Each structure stands twice: as C-alpha cells, then as structure tokens.
Amino acid sequence: MPERLADKVALITGATGGIGQATAELFAREGARLVVTDLAEKATEELATRLAPAGAEVLAARLDVSSAESWSEVIELTRQRFGRLDVLVNLAGIVDWPGVEDTTQESWDRVIAVNQTGTWLGMKAAMPLLRATGNASVVNTSSVLGLVGSGAAAAYQASKGAVRLLTKTAAVEYATRGVRVNSVHPGVIATPMIQDLLDEQGDRQPDIVRTPMRRAGDPAEVAAAMLFLAGDESSFVTGTELVVDGGLTAY
C-alpha cells in the first residue's frame, strides 16, 4: 500500500507531547518529511533522533508558538531545508483548570497566547509556503471543550472555542487557494497533561464516566485523525470538526 504522506513535508508543533509524538511517528511511517517543533529543545532533538530509524528526514527546531519572530525563523528553516510545506499541524497547547472567577489574568493571557494566538500565528506564517504547493492541509487542534461547556477551565475553553471558528473562517478564505483547514477535537486522551488524574481516578474520572466508551483515548487514535485530514484522502474536506472523544459529545 502506498505511503499516505509520501513526498509531503509536515510541520508539527507541540511535537514532544503525547499526541504530538504519536502524530510525528505515524506521519514518519507514512512517508512524510518532518519539521518537529516544541519549546523543549532537547526533547525535540531526541524525538527527531528516534524518528530517524523509520527512514524519515526530520528537522528539529525550537518554537515558541506565541512569538511571531519564532514562527518566522522556523518557517524560514523549513523553506531552506525542504523548499516547501504541505501540512501544518497546530498541536501545541496548554491547559488551565480554574473557572471564570478563579482564573488570573496572567493565566488567561498565557493560555490565549499559546492556544489561540499561536494557532493564528502559525497559519499566518506558514500560509505562503502552504499556498505555493497548491494542495496543502492545515490541521488545528481544538478540543471537545471547544464544543461544549464544562463549568471550568475558562481560559482553555475560550481558546479552544476560538480555534474552532478560526479554523472555519480560514477554511472559507483558502478554499479556492489550495489549502484545506480543519480542526480535530479530542476528548479524554491518556496524555501526560492529564495522566495524573487518570492514575488517581482511573475509570472513576468524571469525564470517563460520561464517555459512552468508558475509557480514555490513546494518542495514536487522535494521530490517525490527524493523518486523515493531512493526506489526500480528505481532499473534499475543509472547515470541518473531526471529534475523537469516544462519544462524549454525542449526548
């Protein structure tokens, strides 16, 4: 079976996280040339080293997604190394759990800067290279908490709701310009970000209790959704929300 991302160059932010690593590994197996980025420079370089045996050509770069200057540097590195960019996966994100009254402005500003502004800056910086291919894909990471309320995580929910609609308006803007733009909305996924809660509460964790499948998802299950939207199999899919949540939002 042909590799689904053969000859494509993909840039992944937040690549050292649970979903990021799973996505990078899957993309490498499917033939992509990769730019893996994160704030943690050493961990990013270690990821690139681990991906090498899969035969992937990998560029590791430090990226602060909240900085326009940092984005410009990474896009220029990508252009110099590969000469093109076919796929942008905006995965970098942080979470803050307090509700409206208990969220500090410092925490609010940081979450918005990374999750919301970082997604916009990524598309803004990468779009010239993406448009030049004539057949590119942007995959933005929102959340089930960008679709429904939880009564908590005010900054996180605001940022992920914004990513959802930013994705839709970008999809319309670039629909005839060679770039598809979609969002993925994970539910409870067993990543380091929530692993402590899962270890402590297991199947009693409230969101798992509310999930019809009664389990947390695996990062690889989200990576598979990323792969579908990144590749040519989704050539008539843009502006959509791909929810990977075990049925959590089906009620």
Residues with active-site annotation: 156
- Tell me if 226 sits within 8 A of 233, measured CB to CB: no
| Alpha carbon 83 to chain centroid, angstroms | 23
* DSSP E strands, the chain: 9-12, 33-38, 58-62, 87-90, 136-141, 179-186, 241-244
- Cα(162)–Cα(116) distance, rounded to whole angstroms? 7
Sort 47 into a burial class: Cβ within 10 Å, 0-12 / 13-18 / 19+: buried
Distance (Å, rounded) from C-alpha 43 to C-alpha 174? 34
